[in-house]
Structure 1
Amino acid sequence: MLRQKSLLLIWAGLQLSLLLLLQQAFAWWIISLFAVLLFYRVFALLRNNAAISLKWVNLLAGIIAVALLLNLRQAGVLHFMLQILLLAAVARLLALQHLYEARQLVWVHYFLIGCCFILHQDMAIAMLVLAVFLLNLYSHYRLFAPSGARLNWPQTGRSVLIILPLWLGMFLLFPRLPAFWQIPQANVAATGLGDSIDPGSIEKLVQDDSLAFRVEFDGALPPRQQLYWRARLYEDFDGRSWHISPLRRTAARYNAAPTGNDAAAAQLSYSVIAEASRQTGLFALATPNSVSGNLQLNSSGLVSANKPLSQRLSYQVKGTASPVLLLSAQEQQLNLATGSGNPATKQFAAELLQQYPQPAQLVAAIAEHFGNQAFYYSLTPPLLAGANSIDQFLFSSRSGFCSHYASATAVILRAAGIAARVVGGYQGGQWHPQQNYLAVRQREAHAWVEYLDNGVWQPFDPTAAVAPERVLNNLDDILPQEQRNLLNSGWRQLAFLQAARQQLMHLDYYWSVWVLGFDDNSQRNLWRQLIQQLPAIAASIAGILLLLLLIGGGYLLKRRAPAAVPPATMLLQRALHPVLQLKPPSQPLSVYLQQLAISQPQHREWLQQLSDVYEQAVYADKPQALMQLAALLKRRRLQIKQLRSSVKNT
């Protein structure tokens, strides 16, 4: 009964852990319901109450299953499957009365543990999942082990030492088969930039300190002023918000590599590890020319995946630092519409156009206007309402975030007859020189403008005219203290927790590069290198095997060879070393001891006894005689000392 109780408590704790690990798949009421059932089971166990009858458990499970089915549209098929799987485990535990009924339960736990990797890929979570797996493995052993049996830790350690190399070899070299089924999509909230942008959207995103992606460059880190990571193009303007054009969504289906306009532009080569965002848009600098994997690279320089990212994705990009070329007259026309409203802005654009007819001159004038007038960079700007939000910002509030300045600039340029669009992405990032990668967080989300000049989409960041520190340094450096506290609230203000989080992020990066990033291409490259080095590898293996054979053969010969000196002789040699130097080499030791007994009458008695015990230990091979010999030598230490002195003076 005690064994059964302890196992049931282990399984209840294990299911609570799985509930926490899989909480992304459950609504709050499902989590609360499952937690109540598990805590009831623990409470009943501690009070030695009987399990719920199978009939009532089946009825309860049926009602919950119907509720989960009604929630299917909101949860998604994948999450529904995880909910049903955990419901089966909880129901089995509620009705469990005998250990033999738990044979299926441990296997359901294994499936749930494996499902944790569908929702998580972080190294820290992987360690927690491994701990839960080991706990279930231990309960599996306890379930089938005889009563009173204990783990044989030395044997378990040897098994682990054998299994680890085999597991590592299979991970590195075993062919990776494609999935036999398609994992259904789940309804999960997307993170990062959306399909529309308006005043206030990026400000909310900036308060999110989670990782967006990490980058490792093949060469030197580009200057911070070039770290503009393009992810979205917003070209439809309704007077307040910017949206991705339906024409752009259609064009994104085609994989056409963009071409830069400057053949001498700096070449860029880098690897990106993008976090799961439930979106298809990815990140690239300037003009990418090629991208690895099954990704799309369209003619506007945008990289996208075929389906929303539900897990981390690693990809490589090669390109140039030159701006993107105009695709067609249709694209130019798409980026000239100003929408209704904002008459003051349009009048201001007309006045600027009269003084600065060239696009580059007009852009410089806008930058000078933002820099010289009383415009402010703020995370908490005044709320803009109505159809004339650009007018309110330019001529009234004059306080805003990057989306305010980008939106206003694009409208001014369009009103002046210059095609312009808002670009959404990320700017900058935190460089970690020891680990050699750039970490870009959601708080680095940014919006800027691309305007058309001589058939090229030139980038322009109006925020840099108002707050150049935003581009040259971190966001924290340009905000007042009260707004900085919005970004670093709560536990983030504790330095030691920030340091620990930083170290964990570095470990997680190596986990992503060496474990999650080891894909089919990496495996094929490894096989190719192994084949090229096959002669050297074969010679090394042969040398190692030969060395092991020599060592093993020498060890066996040493074990089989008889001992050169009997233990009894070694005892006498250590005890009577100065005395035995006078013994002829060919004379037996026992005969020499008898001669000593004759020549040294004062020591005759114990020397004769020593000779008799020595002969029994050597020739009769009696273990008791060897012990007696050792005891006699220990007991006669004073006489041995006197014998040495007597022999020396003779």
Structure 2
Amino acid sequence: MLVAPRLLMLWAGIQLSIVLLLQQAFALWITALFILLMLYKITATWQGKATLSLKLVNLLAAAIALALILNIRQAGVLHFMLQILLLAASCRLLALKHSADARQLVWVHYFLIASCFVIHQDMFTALLIFTVFTLNLYSHFRLFAPPRLSIAWRQTSRSILIVLPLWLAMFTLFPRLPPFWQIPNAKVASTGLSDTLDPGSIEQLVKDDSLAFRVEFNGELPARSQLYWRSYLYEDFNGRSWQVNPLRQHRSQLNKALPQNTRGRSLQYRVIAEASQQHNLFALMLPTTVSNEVYIASAGLIKSNKPVSQRTSYQVTSINAPVTWSGNTETDINLQLGVGNAKTQVFAKQLAKQNPSAPQLVQAIATHFNQQHYFYSLTPPPLGNNSVDSFMFDSRTGFCSHYASAAALILRAAGIPARVVGGYQGGDWHPQQGYLAVRQREAHAWVEYLDNEQWQLFDPTAAVAPERILNSLESALTAEQRQLLFSGWAQFELLQSIRLQLMHLDYYWSVWVLGFNDTSQQTLWRNLRQYFTTILSVLAVLVGITLLLFGLFFWQRRPTNLAPEATVLVQHKLGKLLQAKAPEQSLSAFIQHIALQQPVHQHWLLFLAKTYEHAVFKDDVEALKQLQQLLKRHSKELRALRRSRIKNA
């Protein structure tokens, strides 16, 4: 049996949707290639062209597969598997002629649709994925159903109502097993901060308004001046840019992160981080305990065991204490001055003579930035190779990375170990929803310096633009520079409001669906065991009420008519026609009377009367079944007769 053109069009549309959903896993030329194949299939089907020969499709598949194999090192194993699976589905569709060959295609579509959740977890993309799944399910139905059979929506709704509670119970109560296999890493562009910090890197990131992570606190929200989310340590300086030291890449190196004395105010919170394709995550102050998905690396940084390719959630407990010194190796790393910037080093030594202790020197640096003519700007001028010298003595205009880089170099030149910290500062608090939203534009850089074997926080930006720390980034910028943050559609308040509400919905999706892990399930089980007797009593009452309602429903619908089943059935179908029936007239005689007045329906009405007599007077079971089928077959004619006027006998 040939496949209907509308099914071919539907499958081509499904594959086109899958290509768009998976485009993050494909190079641009691969995405364009698959789109061209789908557009060709849609156009050919629309114009009624013949299906491509199997030989030609196989040659095309071999050529594309070879190109994908050559691209495997750049794409990664997982993305290569998705590309091959999509190629198989596309080639099957190009050569598809008969319905029997389409069964494998539909099942491959299910695998591809499920694979979309490997890349996307946000609520709105999930709704789109479920829509594509529904379309594929509909095509599955059409593939096996007779041509004129319509979907039984009533029965389908009943099935959904039965399956939905079962699905919810399995989702909440079924053991959350760890994955049996690991997703291989793929070369995907990362977002957010990176291992390198140079003049201009954070300025570019600040123009990105996308979410970095969201946080919900077990208690009160800390003051904004305490919201320093540590993510990266930049300790290697080459005279212009800062980089992460290679020793920080290994879990076993420089790993004395926790102090001997962990006294301090404890803070518990949960972070929902967006996909970044990086290992580094975010934490406040000094983390002491974390959930199983992440670990505490050296210097109190939070890291994931594998690149964060999906939205992830983790719990953290932090204390308000500085990170402790881990040894001479750490000191040596954070005293290196790099190449150049001689003027800044001379200035640092002069400043250190007047301020011999580390706290005094830090205060002197802050006073210098505050009292001299330094400016905070989102668009600082470009700097040369001696970037710190150019900033300190020429432009005097910079962003947070400029001030942090200069302060760290001054401290090092004065003999005080110092490093630049990269992360985020602040966030937007949404009290009704109860979470803090931290966007990429909150990216920030500050300094940590060593004093009494503890790394103390110093933010030189606060001396130049305190509004940035105490209020928001926008408040520290001029009106002209704020336009760089809110350009295009972001200037419309209505669109911003809609976007904010959608973000709140997406947050609830992340908390209640994506964030429901084994820890949440164990907590649920503990609560169920604790209130087992109460829950059992409530369920017993609900079951009893349900059974009582069902009993009353069936009691009211119990058969009160003692007439034979055939008589009740015919009386129900005749309805208003029985108003013309004489009291002494039998039901079969009345049907014959209608047949005489309706010559068009005479044949089947007489047959109906005869079948009725056999079902009633001979107690014929087969006649009763035949009567039911006859009434169902002529239901439209009976509705027409009920609207007509029948004369009394």
Does the C-alpha gap of structure 1 residues 447 and 49 become closer, same or farther in structure 2, counting only changes over 3 Å?
same
Return closer, same or farther for 1:135/1:437 CA change in 2, 3 Å cut-off: same
| Cα-to-partner distance string for 1:144-189 (whole Å, 9 max, x where unaligned) | 1012110111111111111111111111111233323222211101
Q: CA deviation at 1:494?
A: 2.4
- Which residue is 1:157 aligned to? 157
Alignment pair present for 1:351 and 2:336: no
Q: Rate the CA distance shift 1:620–1:558 in 2: closer, same or farther, 3 A.
A: farther
Taking the TM superposition and a 5 Å limit, the aligned residue runs for 1:30-109 are: 30-109=30-109
User: Residues 309-339 of structure 1, C-alpha deviation per residue, up to 9 Å, x if partnerless?
Assistant: 1111111111212222222232223211212
Alignment correspondent of 1:231? 231
Tell me the distance in 2 between the aligned counterparts of 1:64 and 1:416.
Answer: 61
Match of 2:526 in 1: 528
Q: 1:376 to 1:239 in 2, by over 3 A?
A: same
- Name 1:414's counterpart in structure 2: 412
Indicate conservation of the 8 Å contact 2:433/2:504, yes or no.
yes
- In structure 2, stretches of 5+ residues that fail to align are 563-578, 591-649
Q: Specify the alignment match of 1:461 in structure 2.
A: 459
- The one-letter code of the counterpart of 1:233 is L
1:272 aligned residue = 271
SS where residue 299 of structure 2 aligns?
coil
In structure 1, the partner of 2:332 is: 333
Please give the secondary structure, in 2, of the residue aligned with 1:434: coil
Structure 2 vs 1, CA of residues 3 and 62 (structure 1 numbering), >3 Å: closer, same or farther?
closer
Taking the aligned partners of 1:209 and 1:2, their CA distance within structure 2 comes to 51
Would you say the 8 A contact 1:336–1:420 is kept in 2?
yes
Pick the aligned partner of 1:431 from 414, 425, 429: 429
Closer, same or farther: CA 313–618 of 1 in aligned 2, 3 Å: farther
Query: One-letter code of the match for 2:71?
Result: N
Counterpart AA for 1:503 = Q
Determine the structure 1 residue equivalent to 2:140: 140
- The structure that has the greater radius of gyration is 1
Cα deviation code 1:349-388 (max 9, x no counterpart): 11111111111111111111101111111122111122x2
Q: Which residue of 1 aligns with 2:243?
A: 243
CA distance, structure 2, for counterparts of residue 623 and residue 477 of structure 1: 92
Q: Distance in 1 between matches of 2:328 and 2:469?
A: 32
One-letter code aligned to 1:297: I
| Alignment check: 8 A CA contact 2:366 2:463 kept | yes
Q: Deviations over 1:435-478 (max 9, x none)?
A: 11000011111000011122221101001111111111221222
Counterpart residue number, 2:290: 291
Match for residue 576 of structure 2? none
Counterpart in the other structure of 2:626: none
Scaled by the length of structure 1, the TM-score of the pair is: 0.84
Looking at structure 2, the residues matched to 202 and 261 of structure 1 have their Cα atoms a distance apart, in angstroms, of 35
**C-alpha separation in 1, matches of 2:314 and 2:253:** 19
Displacement of 1:419 in angstroms is 1.1
Tell me what 1:599 maps to: none
Q: Distance in 2 between matches of 1:89 and 1:155?
A: 32
Distance 2:422 2:142 in 1: 56
Distance in 2 separating the partners of 1:99 and 1:527: 48
Distance 2:253 2:586 in 1: 95
Alignment of 1:544-623 (within 5 A): 544-560=542-558, 562=560
Counterpart residue identity of residue 394, structure 1: M
Question: Would the alpha carbon gap of residues 20 and 409 (structure 1) be closer, same or farther in structure 2, given more than 3 Å must change?
Answer: same
Is the 8 Å Cα contact of residues 261 and 323 (structure 1) preserved in structure 2?
Answer: no
What is the rounded CA distance, in whole Å, between the counterparts of 1:50 and 1:380 in structure 2? 59
Displacement of 1:619 after TM fit? 13
Q: Answer yes or no: is the 8 Å Cα contact 1:212–1:274 preserved in 2.
A: yes
Q: Which amino acid in the other structure matches residue 118 of structure 1?
A: V
In 1, Cα distance between equivalents of 2:159 and 2:493:
42
Checking the alignment, whether the CA contact within 8 Å between 1:261 and 1:456 is kept in structure 2 is no
Q: For residues 615-641 of structure 1, give each alpha carbon's deviation from its aligned partner in whole angstroms, at most 9, with x where no partner exists.
A: x969999999xxxxxxxxxxxxxxxxx
For the residues of structure 2 that align with 1:480 and 1:520, how far apart are their CA atoms? 48
**TM-superposition CA deviations, 1:39-59 (whole Å, max 9, x none):** 111111111111111110110
**Comparing 187-196 with 137-146, which one deviates more in the overlay?**
187-196
Say which SS state the counterpart of residue 300 (structure 2) adopts.
coil
> 2 CA distance for matches of 1:257 and 1:247?
14
2-structure distance, mates of 1:531, 1:154: 38
Corresponding position of 1:509:
507
Counterpart in the other structure of 1:371 = 370
Tell me how far apart the structure 2 counterparts of residues 262 and 63 of structure 1 sit (CA, whole Å): 62
How far apart in 2 are the matches of 1:202 and 1:256?
29
Question: Cα distance 1:401–1:53, how it changes in 2: closer, same or farther (>3 A)?
Answer: same
Deviation at 1:549, TM superposition (A): 3.0
Q: Distance between the aligned counterparts of 2:26 and 2:585, measured in 1? A: 82
Change (3 A) 1:457 1:256: closer
Q: Report if the CA contact (8 A) 2:2-2:97 is conserved.
A: no
Paired residue type of 1:74: Q
Deviation at 1:546, TM superposition (A): 2.5
User: Matched residues in 2 for 1:375 and 1:255: separation?
Assistant: 38
What do the CA deviations read for 1:387-432 (whole angstroms, capped 9, x no partner)? x221111001111111110000000001111111100000001111
CA distance in 1, matches of 2:545, 2:434: 40
Ranges in structure 1 where 5+ consecutive residues have no aligned partner = 565-612, 625-650
Residue equivalent to 1:311: 310
Residue 403 of structure 1 corresponds to which residue in structure 2?
Answer: 401
Task: Answer whether contact 1:253 1:296 (CA < 8 A) is retained.
Answer: no
- Summarize the Cα distance change of 1:493–1:260 in structure 2 as closer, same or farther, 3 Å threshold: farther
Amino acid at match of 1:462: P
Does the C-alpha gap of structure 1 residues 257 and 3 become closer, same or farther in structure 2, counting only changes over 3 Å?
A: same
Distance 1:257 1:347, change over 3 A: closer
Which residue number in structure 2 is paired with residue 110 of structure 1?
A: 110
2:455 partner letter: W
Is contact 1:261–1:322 with CA below 8 Å preserved after alignment? no
Is the Cα–Cα contact under 8 Å of residues 78 and 183 in structure 2 kept in the other structure?
yes
2: CA distance between counterparts of 1:201 and 1:3? 55
Q: Is this contact kept in 2: 1:254–1:296, CA < 8 A?
A: no
Q: TM-score, normalised by structure 2?
A: 0.84
Identify the residue that residue 479 of structure 1 maps to in structure 2. Answer: 477
Give, in angstroms, the shift of residue 36 of structure 1: 1.2
Amino acid across the alignment from 1:168: L
Shift, 1:261, TM fit? 5.7
Task: Give the residue type in structure 1 aligned to 2:139.
Answer: S
The answer on 1:186 being equivalent to 2:181 is no
Q: Separation in 2 of the partners of 1:434 and 1:3? A: 53
Q: Distance in 2 between matches of 1:495 and 1:557?
A: 59
Question: C-alpha separation between the residues in 1 aligned to 2:381 and 2:19?
Answer: 42
Alignment of 1:206 with 2:206, yes or no, is yes
**SS of residue matched to 1:300:** helix
Residue aligning to 1:601: none
Match of 1:594 in 2: none
Task: Name the CA distance, whole Å, in 1 between partners of 2:229 and 2:266.
Answer: 16
User: Amino acid of the residue matched to residue 129 of structure 2?
Assistant: V
Match in the other structure for 1:320: 319
Deviations 1:92-115 (A, max 9, x none): 111112222211111111000000
**AA in 2 matched with 1:378:** S
Whether the aligned pair in 1 keeps the contact of 2:77 and 2:184 (CA below 8 Å) is yes
CA–CA distance in structure 2, aligned partners of residues 467 and 623 of structure 1: 100
Code of the aligned partner of 1:370: F
Cα root mean square deviation, aligned = 2.3
Q: Secondary structure at the match of 2:326?
A: coil
Distance in 1, matches of 2:80 and 2:228, equals 39
Letter in 1 for 2:432: Q
Equivalent-residue separation in structure 2 for 1:493 and 1:260 (angstroms): 51
Q: Is the 8 A contact 1:258 1:298 kept in 2?
A: no
